[in-house]
A and B are shown apart, each in its own frame.
Chain A
Amino acid sequence: MNAPCPEHPLEALLAGELPFDEAERVQHHVDSCAACTQSMAWLKLERGWMAQRARRAPHRRALDFSALEARLASAQALRARTQGRWSHQGKMALGAIAALLFIVFNVTQQLPPTPAEDAWGLEAWSVPAGETCVDPTREAVAAIEARVGACLVATPVVLSIAR
């Protein structure tokens, strides 16, 4: 049993999509092939039917441009509102970022430097002795420290300098 001939070239022939030489070759084959003659008849039927069907499609109100205009107008208004909102929100966001940066800048100016930032800064050398024990567990160990007579929690370096 032979493999069926592909329909694609026949369809292309019918749609006028083939160059002249190719069209002639396909037509010559169709003329001598029963299966392709039948396929061709079905393809013509299909195209003819679809064309008639398209012509008969009912006229719908939705296909009048006037019916679409109102929707286009409201879609455009919505787009404009959304863009306006984004633009407004963009300004608000910029303001918020600027305010945040200002606060962060000020706070960082007031905060003592972290060890990583300024481990060898002059400030470390001038910390008063009373402020060396800044550990939050200070109260908990205060009694022990009092008994021992030494600061047990603070940074050893600072402690040694303070002493």
Chain B
Amino acid sequence: MSRWDVAFLSAVKMAMVSVIPSDTDRESTLLRRARAGDPAAFRTLFERHAPAVWRFLRDLLRDEAAADEATQETFVRAHGRLSALRDGDRLGAWLLGIARNVYLETRRRRGMTHVDVDDEAHEGQVEAVLPTPSPEDLLLDRELEGLLAEALGALREERRAALLLRIDHGLPYEEIASVMGWSLPKVKNEIHRARLQLRERLADHVGGHS
């Protein structure tokens, strides 16, 4: 096992212990119970998914208090629409889809306009020479975390949403297409571009600071 693998696996595993719920109940069982009106089942689903929904909304709205409100609104809507969820649907993707609609409504209501820092003209030059990260770069200190948040915030909103659905929430491309209402090629293209933009913005802090 390489130095990379050891560092990578420990970083991801450590994080996953606290991110993925240890509850052994199968989600589909919980969902069936919640649909039948079992409040305890809905509560478990909320506790499992609310942190991810909140994080997604925080990253879109870039405002923690607004994310609080939008997260609650997402679950109120989800609760009212549980019967619309089909058995094969994945709850996580479904909730993030509702969250995205809540975000769009919040943005409209507040008259928020996103400043697209990365304009189309800039995109063509993204494939600049990038450094190769080393395992030491895996450590996300506070400063780097701030820079990462800034780099994400600089992405066009839709592109940021798609990238986060993939790299933070682990949605398959097909589910991202469904949440975003895009074709599969568009999802792949947008996520690829988002990644390149993110890397370019963070390049100075990676790979021995070359």
- B148 contact from A41, A44, A49, A51, Cβ within 8 A: A49
Q: A47-B167, A51-B11, A79-B80 are in contact. Are A58 and B64 (CB under 8 A)?
A: yes
What residues of chain A have their CB less than 8 Å away from a CB belonging to chain B?
A: 4, 7-8, 15, 17, 37-38, 41-42, 44-58, 60-63, 65, 67-68, 71-72, 75, 79
- A56 contact from B76, B127, B137, B145, Cβ within 8 A: B145
* B54 proximity list for chain A (CB < 8 A): 57, 60, 62-63
- B168 contact from A37, A50, A62, Cβ within 8 A: A50
B38 at the interface (CB under 8 A from A): no
- A54 contact from B8, B19, B134, B188, Cβ within 8 A: B19
Contact A68 B11 (CB under 8 A): no
Contact A48 B8 (CB under 8 A): yes
* B159 proximity list for chain A (CB < 8 A): none
Contact A45 B170 (CB under 8 A): no
Identify which of residues 15-29 in chain B touch chain A, using a CB-to-CB cut-off of 8 Å. 15-16, 18-19
Selected A-B contacts with CB under 8 Å, 22 pairs: A7-B192, A41-B133, A41-B134, A44-B138, A45-B133, A48-B12, A49-B145, A51-B15, A52-B11, A52-B14, A52-B140, A53-B140, A55-B18, A57-B51, A60-B64, A60-B71, A61-B68, A63-B51, A63-B54, A65-B43, A65-B46, A79-B80
Q: How far is the CB of B190 from chain A (nearest CB, A)?
A: 13
Contact B168 A44 (CB under 8 A): no
What residues of chain B have their CB less than 8 Å away from a CB belonging to chain A?
A: 4, 7-8, 11-12, 14-16, 18-19, 43, 46-47, 50-52, 54-55, 58, 64, 67-69, 71-72, 75-76, 79-80, 127, 130, 132-134, 137-138, 140, 144-145, 148, 167-168, 170, 172, 188, 192, 195, 198-199, 206
Give B163's nearest chain A residue, CB to CB: A46
Contact A53 B71 (CB under 8 A): no
- A44 contact from B4, B67, B130, Cβ within 8 A: B4
- B72 contact from A44, A55, A56, A62, Cβ within 8 A: A62
Q: How far is the CB of B96 from chain A (nearest CB, A)?
A: 14
When chains A and B are docked, how far (Å) is the Cα of A67 from the Cα of B75? 11
Contact A68 B75 (CB under 8 A): yes
Q: A7-B195, A50-B168 are in contact. Are A72 and B50 (CB under 8 A)?
A: no
Q: A41-B4, A63-B50, A65-B47 are in contact. Are A55 and B64 (CB under 8 A)?
A: no
When chains A and B are docked, how far (Å) is the Cα of A45 from the Cα of B68? 29
Contact B71 A62 (CB under 8 A): yes
When chains A and B are docked, how far (Å) is the Cα of A61 from the Cα of B68? 8
Contact A63 B71 (CB under 8 A): yes
* B64 proximity list for chain A (CB < 8 A): 58, 60
Give B53's nearest chain A residue, CB to CB: A63
Q: A8-B188, A44-B138, A48-B12 are in contact. Are A55 and B76 (CB under 8 A)?
A: no
* A56 proximity list for chain B (CB < 8 A): 145
